[in-house]
Amino acid sequence: MAEAIWARLSAHHRATAGRPIADLFAEDPGRAADFAAESEGLLLDYSKTAIDARALHLLAGLAEAAGVAGRREAMFAGAPINATEGRAVLHTALRNLDGSVHVNGVDVMDGVRATLARLEGFALDVRAGRLRAPGGPVSDVVAIGIGGSDLGPAMATAALAPYHDGPRLHFVSNVDGAHLADTLRPLDPRRTFVIVASKTFTTVETMTNAVSARDWLAAAVERPGEQFAAVSSALDRTRAFGLDPARVFGFEDWVGGRYSLWGPIGLPLMVAISPARFRAFLAGGAAMDAHFRAAPFTENLPLLLALVGIWHRQVAGHATRAVLPYDQRLARLPAYLQQLEMESNGKRVAIDGTDLLRPSGPVVWGEPGTNGQHAFMQLVHQGTEVVPCEFLLAARGHEPGLAHHHRLLAANCLAQSEALMRGRSLAEARALMAARGLAGAELERQARHRVFPGNRPSVTILYPQLTPFVLGQIIALYEHRVFVEGTILGLNSFDQWGVELGKELAGSLLPVLEGREHGRGRDGSTARLAARIRALGDAAADTEGAG
């Protein structure tokens, strides 16, 4: 059944590919309302896409044929839908704090609530100055992690900057020593606290940074281990590192890294904005969960956003997706969604191990507006590839004294989506050049440079203001979008075997770079590059020694 629907979708796309999106509005005066949906103030407008009633009907049929509804309920119920690892997928349990959820016959919610209470107690102690550093109340918190242990809290902490009333937060993820050094340089080690996030407490990049941060503290304080907390389930390793078990917060294997912001991984955010506001963030995610489970498909934001994504990537063949928050504090959202979407659905085989029959997830990228308008939007408007865009915009900002800035920001956001759809024809460009006094061949040449093909799709997500609740809605919206797309494509969105091979090879290359092993057996390029790095490093060391 599903393959027949895919075939009908492809045929419909071919039949309507040349139809201007703008014509859909002329044919249906109610299109803006009909191809939009809202949940608790969060509005999804997908009317500026080529999706019409027929396409939407077929896309909904795909979701039905893939069993999205049943798999959705299985996820919320704690079934092991992560089939390659035999695990439940229950990040939703971290924000839905009422009721019970059973995994292998055990209700996990008592543990979730107990951990949340411990996190809140720790955060309150730091914020109130009850947990002190040798130099006094904690002034700065350095959060060390990588991937899902960093991108989520770093993104959310920046997004909710207007709500910061705790210590200053800093995030270190890259094993490049420059990241740690530049972060620590302006800080006072006698008033700094470090939170290390690694479930196994073995992540190479994170533990390398953690050891160096401990060395930095040890140069200034007598007991550096007392200025650490950890988000980890490896109590033996955290104890060996010198951490008090009371300051170690674990989470279960049914929470994947890129879905873990809602629990202990969100501790830096809680310290920054307060436990009460963190609960408002959880409430926003829970509200989107309830909407996702209850709303019919024509009103269901995660389902509709996923169907738009399927139309653009798998049906229309657009290989990338631009996420463009017209909200400076969401500057890290595109990077966060890169991991969420590309690590989840960047697969080549279905759950049963057979090759996928069509492309998997798109390349996700983006930057905040209006900066992107002065960088890559040239290609989006006039390049040879169509890039579907997703705009995010708040109706109001947090700076009432700069309201005119926000009006200009909003005008630019709406103008970009309108321009992408409408474009500018050659006839319009010729008229524009004629009005400037050009004629003949020069008019024609200049006009052609000013043609915009138009008919380029976009989605707009509009919300009242970027609050903790709204941020929770947005993140949960995208999480469920990934789930629906993965389910329709028949893949497992909750494993990430693609990150393993590079890690393994890096571990085997380290002895080569340290001079303890030869590079024999490596390909010629890798062996030569490793030898060159060693030679240049040795030469630099000799120069420094001579100096």
Residue among 330, 367, 393 nearest 161 (CA)? 330
Q: How far is CA 237 from the centre of its chain?
A: 29
Q: What is the pLDDT of residue 546?
A: 55
Find the helix packing angle between 53-65 and 468-489, rounded to 10°: 70
Residue among 227, 214, 230, 225 nearest 265 (CA)? 230
**Which position among 343, 367, 390, 479 bears the catalytic label?**
343
What are the CB-based long-range contacts (under 8 Å, 24+) for 73-76?
73/293, 75/483, 76/101, 76/289, 76/293
- C-alpha distances out from residue 492 to 138, 139, 359, Å: 42, 42, 14
Query: Would you give per-residue pLDDT tens digits along the chain (547 residues)?
Result: 799 999 999 999 999 999 999 999 999 999 999 999 999 999 999 999 999 999 999 999 999 999 999 999 999 999 999 999 999 999 999 999 988 999 989 999 999 999 999 999 999 999 999 999 999 999 999 999 999 999 999 999 999 999 999 999 999 999 999 999 999 999 999 999 999 999 999 999 999 999 999 999 999 999 999 999 999 999 999 999 999 999 999 989 999 999 999 999 999 999 999 999 999 999 999 999 999 999 999 999 999 999 999 999 999 999 999 999 999 999 999 999 999 999 999 999 999 999 999 999 999 999 999 999 999 999 999 999 999 999 999 999 999 999 999 999 999 999 999 999 999 999 999 999 999 999 999 999 999 999 999 999 999 999 999 999 999 999 999 999 999 999 999 999 999 888 877 777 888 888 888 888 887 788 989 888 888 888 887 765 566 555 5
**Which position among 374, 385, 500, 504 bears the catalytic label?**
374
Q: Are 21 and 50 in contact (CB under 8 A)?
A: yes
Indicate if 381 belongs to the active site.
Answer: no
Q: Are 381 and 375 in contact (CB under 8 A)?
A: no
**Which position among 57, 102, 503, 518 bears the catalytic label?**
503
Indicate if 343 belongs to the active site.
Answer: yes
Tell me the domains of the chain and their CATH numbers: 2-21+41-65+295-422+456-493 (3.40.50.10490), 99-277 (3.40.50.10490), 502-546 (1.10.1390)
Q: What is the pLDDT of residue 103?
A: 93
Q: How many Å apart are CA 534 and CA 528, to the nearest integer?
A: 10
Q: Are 194 and 142 in contact (CB under 8 A)?
A: yes
Indicate if 170 belongs to the active site.
Answer: no
- Radius of gyration (Cα) for the chain, nearest Å? 26
What is the three-state SS of 412-456?
HHHHHHHHHHHCECHHHHHHHHHHCCCCHHHHHHHHHHCCECCCC
